[in-house]
A and B are shown apart, each in its own frame.
Chain A
Amino acid sequence: MDVKLINPFVDAVATVMPQLGFQNVSRGKLAVKDQYVSSQGVTVLIGMTNDVRGNIAYNMSEETARSIASTMMMGMPVDKMDDMAQSAISELVNMVTANAAINFEKQGISVDISPPSLAVGENFKVKVSSTKYLALELLIDSNALELNIGLGQ
């Protein structure tokens, strides 16, 4: 997978997160992987079609998901992964991926995105791509978010 395909996502996170009330977004490690993504508890899968095809799995712990949902809801406490929190996290993934899609368009690459599927459970694994994918670690305020990007042109 071409490493250049991650830039639209990095830019999207940097654009969207501050709009939702997050202060600091920093990039951690980037690794090439070919195995399954082990879910940290909450994994959101979203697909792309058109010039770029594949899936992206946004992976985070339930604690992180609750913390992010709380910030998105103006600091309202989120004690469990209820409907509101699920909806907030799905919306976040939708916004970031839609913004990445706009960034692809700027490069003349046309993409469409599917609705996000949020998966919650214990000990499950996810495969985003039949070949290699890129795992990008992000730190959003103190929340660790992992983007597993399996895309091809």
Chain B
Amino acid sequence: MGKIRVLIVDDSPFSRKVMAGTLDQTVFEVCGFAENGWEAVEKFKLLCPDVVTMDMNLPDMDGLVCSREILSIDSNAKIVMASAMRDDSLISRGYSIGVQAFLQKPIKAPELLDTLRQVCLNNRSNQEWQEKYLQYFISSLQQNLLQMAGLESDVSTSPDSQPKFTARGIAIILGITGKQTGRIILNATEQTAQKLTQRILDGAAVDEEDVLNSIAEVANIIGGHSVSVINNIYRGVELRLTPPGIMCGNSIDIINPKLSSFNVIAETEIGTLNLNIGFAGGK
């Protein structure tokens, strides 16, 4: 993999030198410098950097205005604000424009490297990471179906080119937070979900509420196991799951415009279970 190219936007020669020094001999390479906002916009167009560090106070415009200019050229541009000020209103305005991270000067070297790395994980290496993660979700799905319900499953996997997943019956949604964000959907028809619940509860009579609760818990366990394994293998990703959200309906389009996802279909003797795993970026 090639180096990650950084454009440094800062009017202070001192700050430019410090940052360039920090990035020297790392996975990053400084592809250019800009001393003011318009130069930053021009260099961005010319150099297409992977990530931009942006000073807040530039001679001709503020760093947020400059960020907005850059994001209007490329809405996927990765921008890290580096500023002596770091107040809440600045951060909130920055995030609403699309700035990815904020650093306060003086910036410590590990902090700069970690932040740029995090921001760039949502960039080109993303697809690669997602494909590595996928195997852990698949094995967790199969293992847990077997352990909890004694179900063997045949699994097929495909990248989902649509941002839309159409759920039929019951869909459990678990959000993923951490260094990579995303979401997991476990979908089954009501009949399949009911049969699965009965198997887990050894054939006991179950009502609708039992079914929803058990499917939510199945999703939680499958997701939790996958994420734990990933966290152990990839130090520092620190993935966390939100509690399950439950959706029920005949046909629900679940849309995540900024995610790229994989669809895992598990065929079992009681019907089909669908696990859709999406991570932000990668497009």
- A interface, CB within 8 angstroms of B: 15-16, 19, 36, 39, 43, 45-50, 53-55, 57, 83, 86-87, 90, 95, 98-99, 102, 106, 112-130
Contacts and interface: CB of A to CB of B under 8 A. Distances in A.
Given A49-B175, A126-B245, A117 B183 contact: yes
B258 A90 contact: yes
Interface of B: 88, 91-93, 95-96, 163, 173-178, 181-183, 185, 212-213, 216, 240-243, 245-259, 278, 280
A124 B245 contact: no
A124 B254 contact: no
A124 B182 contact: no
A50 B247 contact: no
B248 to A, nearest CB: 5
B91 A86 contact: no
A150 B146 CA distance: 32
Which 4 pairs of residues, A with B, have the shortest CB-CB distance? A114-B175, A47-B242, A124-B249, A47-B175
Given A50-B240, A55-B242, A114-B176, A124 B248 contact: yes
A83 B247 CA distance: 22
Contacts of A117: 173, 175, 183, 185, 245, 254-256
Max chain A Cβ within 10 angstroms of own Cβ: one of B92, B95, B182: B92
A45 B173 contact: yes
Q: Which of B177, B245, B256, B258 has the most CB of A within 10 A?
A: B245
Most chain A Cβ neighbours within 10 Å, of B175, B213, B258 = B175
A33 B220 CA distance: 23
A15 B88 CA distance: 12
Contacts of A122: 249-251
B243 A53 contact: yes
B91 A102 contact: yes
Nearest to A46: B175
A102 B252 contact: no
Nearest to A126: B247
A119 B183 contact: no
A116 B242 CA distance: 12
Contacts of B174: 47
Contacts, number: 136
A51 to B, nearest CB: 12
Contacts of A116: 256
B173 A54 contact: no
Given A50-B240, A118-B254, 5 more contacts: A19-B93, A49-B177, A113-B177, A114-B181, A115-B182
B258 A115 contact: yes
A128 B246 CA distance: 7
B248 A47 contact: no
Given A99-B92, A106-B88, A118 B245 contact: no
Contacts of B249: 39, 121-125
B280 A112 contact: no
B255 A102 contact: no
Contacts of B255: 86, 90, 117-120
B247 A118 contact: no
B243 A54 contact: yes
A127 B252 contact: no
Given A47-B174, A106-B88, A121-B251, A112 B240 contact: yes
A123 B252 CA distance: 9
B210 to A, nearest CB: 13
Which among A98, A112, A115 has the highest number of chain B CB atoms within 10 Å? A115
Nearest to B280: A115
Contacts of B246: 36, 126-127
B250 A19 contact: no
Contacts of B280: 115
B123 to A, nearest CB: 16
